[in-house]
Amino acid sequence: MELRKEPYNVKIVGEIGNNFPTPMSPNWKLFPIMWDKCIATAIVGYTITLSVGKIYGKKHGYKVDPNQEMIAMGAANMISSTFQCIPCAASLPRSALQETAGGKTQVVSVVNCLCIVVVILALGRYLEELPTCVLGSCIAVALVSLITKVGEFRRFWKVSKLDGMIWMITFVFVLVLCVDYGIYIGIVASLLLLIYKSERPKTYLLGTMPELDIYVPINKFNRVEEPKDFKIFQMCGPLNFSNVEYFSTELENKCGFHLTSIQKYMKSKEYKSSYAKVSQNIRYETLPKIQLTRLALNYDTLPKYLVIDCSVFSFIDFSGISTLKKIILTFEDIGIQTVLSGIHVHLESMLAKEGFFTDISTDHLYKTIHDAVVCLQELENESKEDDVFNENYVSRCLTKNL
């Protein structure tokens, strides 16, 4: 019975050759015509291979090395190209079918290759009349377990809306366009998301739990107290050229003041008059300039101390170092003593190489947030005991003479 003829018209496998092609060098004349398509094929093939490898690596508990996979694919394609083979890569349906059959190691591929050799040389003519729908049904059954992974979209969306959007964008464009364009769009969307997250990392004001030296975000936990006269700022990400403006803006917003407005006021005649009268009525030779400035401003909302938590900085570039230096110097000009805490050894070395400590002493660096808070509080208490910075005395002077 010939299924491919009337009245059945069933699509069958068709002729299967019984020999192997002769090895020959590739036709280099096709390179100028095909190079762009070859690059696209290589990217798609590698992406699919790595994705399939990670899916089954996660499922069976082994690690997939991307570099090793790239070397293996390159070697396989270089050898197979001499036999006029199409580009090779991992096949999701074939991998699923192999797993369903109980395959565990690469020996399965060796057995498959031997079986293919036997089919080509001896059994090919017996399989020529096999309907292609039979082969398709084997693949469809093997893919059932993978198709159900579409439900993982809910998990991605629940954890992160942005990651869920990337998943859905890639999925939709693979279906609407094709696999290669869908993957390109997914890669571009992932890169844009990475840039966005790098430019807009999370920022927090930290506080401490009662009777503990643990500092956590104020708006994320209950019973968190902000140390008096302190602002503790944290940005969860690298500090580089792409987010230094965001870092500065978030720092001012979290601390509750606008630096530009204060600097503008410091240039006014009112401030200069206040500064002159304060310096005349206080022992100027013993009062630090940062505290004298603070008195002249008379801003009750300004914190006395700012601690920048650098423990979550993985990287700081030249722009980030310049921004930190500018913040410390500028904030101290308006009466806010600013220090850094938790900065890692390799980042401290970068600060030294960039000349950070030329203008700023190492006294501005502390190992932990708690060290910074306790040390600054002790220094303030010593100052009060020595009557160097007695706010009650200053207030009486200002009330009497201003």
Residue 227 and residue 310 share a domain: yes
pLDDT at 156: 79
Residue 186 and residue 325 share a domain: no
pLDDT at 360: 87
Residue 223 and residue 337 share a domain: yes
With contact defined as beta carbons under 8 Å apart, do 316 and 238 qualify? yes
Q: In the β-sheet with 365-366, what is the strand arrangement from edge to edge? A: 215-217, 203-208, 230-235, 305-309, 337-341, 365-366
Dist CA 274 CA 280 (whole Å): 10
Is there a domain that residue 117 lies in?
Answer: no
With contact defined as beta carbons under 8 Å apart, do 358 and 274 qualify? no
Mean pLDDT for the chain overall: 77
Residue 216 and residue 190 share a domain: no
Give, for all 402 residues of the chain, the pLDDT tens digit.
566 666 667 777 777 766 777 788 878 888 888 887 888 788 888 888 888 888 888 888 888 888 888 888 888 888 888 888 888 888 777 777 777 777 777 788 888 888 878 877 777 777 777 787 877 787 777 667 667 777 778 887 888 888 888 888 888 888 888 777 787 888 888 888 888 888 888 899 998 887 778 888 988 888 888 888 888 999 988 888 888 889 888 888 888 777 766 666 556 555 555 555 555 554 444 445 555 454 444 555 678 889 999 988 888 888 889 899 988 888 887 778 889 998 888 888 888 888 888 888 888 899 999 888 888 888 777 665 554 444 554 455 445 444
Is there a domain that residue 55 lies in?
Answer: no
CATH number at residue 236: 3.30.750.24
Residue 281 and residue 175 share a domain: no
Residue 194 and residue 255 share a domain: no
Dist CA 332 CA 339 (whole Å): 10
pLDDT at 137: 80
Residue 177 and residue 267 share a domain: no
Residue 250 and residue 321 share a domain: yes
pLDDT at 308: 92
Residue 282 and residue 187 share a domain: no
Dist CA 16 CA 123 (whole Å): 9
Is there a domain that residue 130 lies in?
Answer: no
* Residue where a domain stops, chosen among 199, 225, 250: 199
Dist CA 164 CA 150 (whole Å): 12
pLDDT at 277: 54
Residue 289 Cα distances to 227, 262, 263, 301, 352, angstroms: 24, 16, 16, 19, 26
Is there a domain that residue 288 lies in?
Answer: yes
268-316 per-position pLDDT tens digit: 555 555 555 555 554 444 445 555 454 444 555 678 889 999 988 888 8
Residue 295 and residue 183 share a domain: no
Is there a domain that residue 25 lies in?
Answer: no
Is there a domain that residue 220 lies in?
Answer: yes
Is there a domain that residue 147 lies in?
Answer: no
Residue 376 and residue 338 share a domain: yes
Is there a domain that residue 177 lies in?
Answer: yes
243-270 per-position pLDDT tens digit: 888 988 888 888 877 776 666 655 655 5
Those residues with Cβ within 8 angstroms of residue 146's Cβ, 6 or more apart along the chain or in another chain: 55, 92, 96
Question: What domain range is 181 assigned to?
Answer: 160-199
Residue 187 and residue 222 share a domain: no
How many domains does the chain divide into?
2
Dist CA 15 CA 18 (whole Å): 9
